[in-house]
């Protein structure tokens, strides 16, 4: 009923400027009679509308907050995936160097290499071995 009360207050403020107390009393009585003409259910509908409008606004705000949170989590996951990929590549380079060094110690005339192969933009990597070729 906030909207109706606010609306009635505005009308009252505008109306009282140029009217006497008797005229205002008569106008108020007419308004009361016109409100009594409405069934009680209609007034409850207005109250329910206000109540559920407030709930809707609150839920909409929570929904928007959830969307923002979801977007933040997605950004975080993307950043973590990038960091994971960078760490994997960095560690793989060291692993490859160590593997090559150890292989040369075991087989003095031999040579070995580990390669990181990325498949078609899918950013998937695998460890390749010369026997796969």
Does residue 58 belong to any structural domain of this protein? yes
Overall domain count for the chain: 1
In a domain, 67, yes or no: yes
pLDDT tens-digit profile of 26-51?
A: 877 887 777 776 666 666 787 888 88
Instruction: Return the pLDDT at 2.
Output: 45
pTM for the full model? 0.46
Residue 128 covered by a domain: yes
What would the mean pLDDT of 20-30 be, rounded to a whole number? 78
Is it the case that residue 132 has pLDDT exceeding 50?
no
Average pLDDT over residues 105-115: 86
* Parent domain of 96: 38-132
Spell out the SS3 assignment of the chain. CHHHHHHHHHHHHHHHCCCCHHHHHHHHHHHHHHHHCCCHHHHHHHHHHHHHHHHHHHHHHHHHHHHHHHHHHHHHHHHHHHHHHHHHHHHHHHHHHHHHHHHHHHCCCCCCCCEEEEECCCCEEEEECHHHC
């Amino acid at each position: 009923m906030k909207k109706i009360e606010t609306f009635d207050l505005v009308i009252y403020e505008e109306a009282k400027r140029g009217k006497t107390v008797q005229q205002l009393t008569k106008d108020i009585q007419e308004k009361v009679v016109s409100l009594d003409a409405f069934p009680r259910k209609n007034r409850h509908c207005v109250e329910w509308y206000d109540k559920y409008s407030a709930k809707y606004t609150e839920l909409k705000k929570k929904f928007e907050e959830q969307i923002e949170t979801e977007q933040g989590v997605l950004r975080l996951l993307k950043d973590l995936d990038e960091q994971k990929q960078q760490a994997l590549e960095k560690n793989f380079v060291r692993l490859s160097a160590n593997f090559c060094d150890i292989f040369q110690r075991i087989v003095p005339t031999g040579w070995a290499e580990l390669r990181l192969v990325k498949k078609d933009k899918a950013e998937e990597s695998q460890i390749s071995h010369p026997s796969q070729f």
